[in-house]
Amino acid sequence: MKKGKFPLLGDKFPKISVKTTHGMKNIPGDYEGKWIVLFSHPGDFTPVCTTEFIEFAKRDAEFKALNAELIGLSVDQVFSHIKWVEWIKEKMDVTIPFPVIADEMGHVGSKLGMLHPGKGTNTVRAVFLIDPEGFNRLILYYPQEIGRNIDEVLRALKALQTSDKYKVATPANWPNNDIFGDKVIVPPASDEKTAAERLKDKSIECKDWWLCYKSL
């Protein structure tokens, strides 16, 4: 990663030591061997952020089943985070099981491109998916006005893991693509011989040599 630039896709995620509601954490070091879903929110005790935290909390077991850990973040103090988490438990009957980073000075948010110059010091709604080797694999940015779709975060995580494991790509809306359903895309042939052989391969289906797919 170039100095002064926030991490791009494929970059090593920068090592950060942060204060959280679960104590000090080193990211990604403390999560070696696991996927990390790091997501920021504009502020505690705000309506949209509260709905997002509730949804992330309700899906925590699904993320853990995918060897992934959730981590929240905003520029609020840790005391505010703790009180907000208590409020969610008391008023909404939902326990927040994951740590929330208190980025009080905005250093982490600035490093990760989470601070929008037109929105004051609040962090935007960013999502970083970090793989078990500490590489940044996906970035999503939402404006403050739009709540995130947690299903999409889970879908993207499953798609990345499937791509890594089977060396394939996934089509639009996978695993519910209108044409291919839950089938995956075989990487296109890179030479004429492979292209010709591809059409004779009974283990895959092809619309043409460059558009082949298969079931897992």
Going residue by residue through the chain (216 aa), what tens digit of pLDDT does each one get?
A: 444 467 889 999 999 999 999 999 999 999 999 999 999 999 999 999 999 999 999 999 999 999 999 999 998 999 999 999 999 999 999 999 999 999 887 778 877 777 666 655 677 789 999 999 999 999 998 888 899 999 999 999 999 999 999 999 999 999 999 999 999 999 988 899 988 888 888 899 999 889 999 999
Dist CA 214 CA 106 (whole Å): 46
Dist CA 62 CA 164 (whole Å): 19
Residues in the chain: 216
Domain topology for 16-148: Glutaredoxin (3.40.30)
What residues does each domain of the chain span?
A: 16-148, 167-216
Is the CATH code 2.30.30.830 the one for domain 167-216? Answer: no
Element (H, E) at 50: helix 47-58
Return the active site residues: 49
Dist CA 5 CA 13 (whole Å): 12
* Two structure tokens written together for 126: 């960013």
Of the candidates 80, 62, 81, which has an alpha carbon nearest to the alpha carbon of residue 70? 62
The tens digit of pLDDT for each residue in 141-165 reads: 888 889 999 999 999 999 999 999 9
* Two structure tokens written together for 158: 């499953």
The tens digit of pLDDT for each residue in 75-105 reads: 899 999 999 999 999 999 999 999 999 988 7
Dist CA 31 CA 25 (whole Å): 9
